Structure 1
Amino acid sequence: MSHRFNEKTINRETIFEGKVISLHVDEVELPNGKTSKREIVKHPGAVAVIPILDNGKIILVEQYRKALERTIVEIPAGKLEKGEEPENTARRELEEETGYQCETLEHLISFYTSPGFADEIIHLYLAKGLTKAEVPLAADEDEFVDLLEVSIEEAEELVRTKKIYDAKTAYAVLYLKLQKGL
């Protein structure tokens, strides 16, 4: 990996510290010796889960997203708690959002959501061998979701009609389409 494009942080000003994110403005020295400012969103990271039922259908959640001012359909997901391993977060989020537990959980890939201004990383998992939890973990008190069970073709239609409108879920649908053997 080339280091010739590295930017040295000269100064950091914290603008906001929230429950989920923080915002910093960094003054950086560029490779050519000049300086610039970078607005950086710090995020603890997240997981997303593709839950596959034995009949091949995908469990999705529909929820309102205030930042978009609309409801969208997504795969279950949530942020990492401090010190929590991504696999544990994935199992917890799956159960909290869907009421299901899984027999197998396979890590597929991890990716950055918006590296131009944020350090959020999402760890994507595939969950199989799903069973309804007898007493599922309680959902977050500020989270309201409806469950959908859809085929891969129905999920593709949800992408086309912009009901699935986020990158992690669109990626999941593409992954499943390419993996015909699921």
Structure 2
Amino acid sequence: MPVKPDVTQRTTVAQSRLFRAEELHLTFSNGEERVYEKLCSGGPGAVLMVPMVDDHTVLMVREYAGGLEDYHLSLPKGAMDRGETPEQAANRELKEEVGYGADNIHWLKKIHLSPSYMEHKINVLIMRDLYAQKLPGDEPEPLEVVPCNIDDLMDLVMRDDVIEGRTIAALFMAKAWLEQQR
């Protein structure tokens, strides 16, 4: 296992309402020095839910993405509040974004979005035994809920409007886990 480099200096170089960027001065075990920049997380993390109506139907949402300046189809997701477990945050966010809660929640994995330059992480959870319950959310407009067949996974992830990497990864993990449960 390699020896982690020493952080010899850490400086905030930019900050906005959503992001903070740090510059890291590093010295590696072989004496090489480098300067890295990274986006820092601003809270306890986030959750991404795979809500299953039944063994074959996943509920996805169509929402506007500022980075794309367009709409896309993804799994529902949201920020964890301080003090919430991933399961609590996932159930709250599912009620806010999709209008369902879940009696059966299974945490799959924590994934990092782009670890080369971001601290951001998201917990992937499968939500089953759904029941109707809507909570007010923070979305600027109602999200369109789109039922999709997870059994046709390749067709689903190859759609032109399914482009988010973490959604695609979560769908593959969820399908494999669900197949093990059958």
- Same fold, judged at TM 0.5 (above): yes
The within-5 A match list for 1:1-182 is 2-4=1-3, 6-43=4-41, 44=43, 45-54=45-54, 56-133=56-133, 136-142=134-140, 144-153=142-151, 156-178=154-176, 179-180=178-179
Structure 2 portions without partners, runs of 5+: none
Alpha-carbon shift at residue 153 of structure 1 (Å): 4.4
> 2: distance between equivalents of 1:121 and 1:176?
18
The verdict on how the C-alpha distance between 1:144 and 1:42 changes in structure 2, with shifts beyond 3 A counting, is: farther
Aligned length: 178
Change (3 A) 1:54 1:119: same
C-alpha change, 1:17 and 1:87, in structure 2 (3 Å) is farther
Shift in Å, 1:155: 5.1
Superposition deviation, residue 55 in structure 1: 6.4
How far does residue 157 in structure 1 lie from its aligned partner after superposition? Answer: 2.3
Residues in 2 aligned to 1:62 and 1:3: alpha-carbon distance in whole angstroms: 43
Q: CA deviation at 1:177?
A: 3.6
Contact (CA 8 Å) 2:60, 2:74: kept in 1 or not? Answer: yes
Query: 1:31–1:144: structure 2 CA closer, same or farther, 3 Å change rule?
Result: farther
Aligned to 1:130, what secondary structure does the other structure show? Answer: strand
Report the secondary structure of 1:142's partner residue: coil
Which residue identity lines up with residue 113 of structure 2 in the other structure? T
Give TM-score scaled by structure 2 length.
0.88
TM-score, normalization by structure 1: 0.88
Code of the aligned partner of 1:118: M
Matches of 1:119 and 1:143, distance apart in 2: 29
- Tell me the alpha carbon deviations over residues 99-123 of structure 1, each in whole angstroms, 9 at most, x when there is no partner: 1011111101111111100111111
Counterparts in 2 of 1:58 and 1:96: CA distance versus 1, 3 Å: same
- Please give the alpha-carbon distance, in whole angstroms, between the structure 2 residues aligned to 1:127 and 1:56: 13
CA contact (8 A) 1:10 1:27 kept: yes
| Deviations 1:48-82, CA, capped at 9 Å, x for gaps | 11000036311000111111222111111112223
Residue 158 of structure 1, CA deviation? 3.4
Instruction: State the identity %.
Output: 24
1: CA distance between counterparts of 2:83 and 2:106? 20
1:70 partner amino acid: D
SS of 1:31's equivalent in the other structure is coil
Unaligned stretches of 5+ residues in structure 1: none
Opposite residue 92 of structure 2, the aligned amino acid is R
How far, CA to CA, are the matches of 2:11 and 2:146 in structure 1? 43
Cα distance, 1:169–1:131 mapped onto 2, change above 3 Å: same
Task: State how far apart, in whole Å, the 2-side matches of 1:155 and 1:161 are.
Answer: 10
| Separation in structure 2 between the aligned mates of residue 171 and residue 141 of structure 1, nearest angstrom | 24
3-state SS of the aligned residue for 1:103? strand
SS of equivalent residue, structure 2 residue 140: coil
